[in-house]
């Protein structure tokens, strides 16, 4: 898995936008102006928003990832090494859906529909 694959998958999500708010080399993906995924300058994995702290903790305890550095406890960092593409697609989709669902109804209505 790689930064490029994260970017390819995230770019397919309706209304997802790429930016570098933390400086060059930090690929950040947003929906409705809110971050759902970030690949840092080191590029060893992706930090993703989880639906809640409990889900993040469960994934950490299961060995899927570690606490995402610099982010809230509801974020997890998934290393690229050993990750399957299907798992990456799923986790990016969950992160995107979590952030999208938290947007105002007006912001949600302005986004293209989500299809799988």
Domain ranges of the chain: 3-103
How confident is the model over 82-107, as pLDDT tens digits?
889 999 999 999 999 999 999 999 99
Q: How many CA atoms lie within 13 A of 2 on its CB side?
A: 3
Selected residue with higher pLDDT from 1 and 89: 89
The Cα 99–Cα 17 span in angstroms is 13
3-103 fold: 3.90.1150
Which two three-digit tokens encode residue 10?
């995230």
Question: Partners of 17 in the beta sheet?
Answer: 30
In angstroms, rounded to a whole number, what is the distance separating the alpha carbons of residues 66 and 77?
5
pLDDT digits (tens, 9 = 90+) for 50-69: 999 999 999 999 999 999 88
Cα distance between residue 49 and residue 72, in whole Å: 9
Token look-up 């529909």 returns 113
H/E stretch holding 67 reads strand 66-67
């Amino acid at each position: 898995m790689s930064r490029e694959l994260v970017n390819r998958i995230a770019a397919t999500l309706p209304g997802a936008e790429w930016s570098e708010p933390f400086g060059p080399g930090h690929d950040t993906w947003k929906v409705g102006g809110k971050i759902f995924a970030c690949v840092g300058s080191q590029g060893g994995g992706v930090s993703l928003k989880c639906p809640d702290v409990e889900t993040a903790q469960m994934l950490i305890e299961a060995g899927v990832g570690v606490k995402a550095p610099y982010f809230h406890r509801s974020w997890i960092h998934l290393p690229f090494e050993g990750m399957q593409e299907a798992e990456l697609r799923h986790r990016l989709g969950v992160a995107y859906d979590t952030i999208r669902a938290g947007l105002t109804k007006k912001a949600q209505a302005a986004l293209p529909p989500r299809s799988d």
